[in-house]
Structure formats: C-alpha cells, structure tokens
Amino acid sequence: MRGPQPTPISLTERQRALLERLTRRQTSPQQVVRRAHLILHAAAGGNNDHVARQLDLDRGTVRTWRTRWLTAAPRLDAAEAAGEPEPVLLDLVVEVLQDAPRPGAPDTFTAEQVVQIVALACEVPPVAERPTSHWTPQELATEAVKRGIVATISPRTVGRFLKAGDAEAASEPLLAQSQAGRPRRLRRAGRDGL
C-alpha cells in the first residue's frame, strides 16, 4: 500500500476472538462495535487511510484508536499472560474501546441534592419558618444550607436549578367548574362528534 505505514497492530488469537465477539454481540454499544471493527481492520494490515475508507471514518479517528490500542496492548498482553478468565479480558478490551473521561470539573451537586432543593422550593415558606410569602433564590440557598442538603450553594445556582425545571402549563384546563361548583370533565374534541 502507498503512503506512510503506521505502527502495525498484532492481536493474539484471544484478543481477535474477543473483538469479533464484541462486533456480533447484540448488547454491545455501537461505538464499541465500530472501534472493534477498526482495530480488526488495522490488525489485518490496513494503513489509516485504507481503514478510514473501508469503515467510512475520518483518518484522524483511525489514528487515535490505533494509538489507544497500541498503548493498551502491553496491559492486555499481561492480563492474558497472567491467565485472566475471558470475562475479565473482555472487560479490559471494552474499557480500551470506550471513550476516555471528558475534561472539565466534576458535578458539584448530586441529582439527589438538586431534587431536594426543588422539593424545598415547593414547600410553603412559612412552614419552613421563613418570614416571607414566596421563596427567592437567596432564601432557598440559605434554607438548603440550614437543612444540611448542601454545605454551600449560591443563589444563582439555585435559580439555575429552578429554571431548568420550568415546564409550560397546559394551554387549556383539564377540569372546568360546573354551575354547582363541582368540577366536571371537559369533552375532548373529536371524541363525542364535536
């Protein structure tokens, strides 16, 4: 083949069998299946351009995953030489083919804490012994810290949590008042020939 030849990938029989199993397994995530195909094609001797054309991928993507496999190969070989059982080897192969952790700061608040803050916002402020008729983000932040939901939180963050949960109200009421003051169901259009 023309062009520069990348570092070749050599697979053991077990590694090849595990990669092929991943490509056939119904429960494998598609990104893992695609990357397993990529490694198998690269191990068959294709350079990055050739593999990219065969699998309809970007050449940079092929280069990235070839490099990741080559970096992990010593660890995979060592696990295989240590006689690790097949499920352990399969987990290692899947781990190599999965996305790396994304950069950035980890979440500051757990989902449970966010839900507790939103639930707090649904309470009536006097029940929480707050001298106000409506919650403000500042009041909610102070109360969340007081109750031990979080160690610290800014009013702005509380406001973002509440804004993210906004849902539009129904455009029409589901119940209507009858003349006797009791609720009655509204008819649905098209259901009763209307």
The residue extents of the domains of the chain are 13-97, 111-164
Query: Does the model's pTM come out above 0.75?
Result: no
36 to each of 72, 111, 155, how far by Cα in Å?
Answer: 14, 34, 47
> Among 3, 4, 16, 2, which residue's Cα sits nearest to residue 69?
16
Q: What is the pLDDT of residue 98?
A: 92
pLDDT reading at 131 higher than 80: no
Q: What is the mean pLDDT of residues 167-180?
A: 45
pLDDT in tens, 89-103: 999 999 999 988 778
**25-47: b (≥16 Cβ within 10 Å) or e:** eeebeeebbbbbbbbbbbbeebb
CB neighbours of residue 117 within 10 Å: 23
| Burial (0-12, 13-18, 19+ Cβ within 10 Å), 69 | buried
pLDDT in tens, 11-25: 999 999 999 999 999
* Residues across the chain: 194
Q: What is the mean pLDDT of residues 56-72?
A: 93
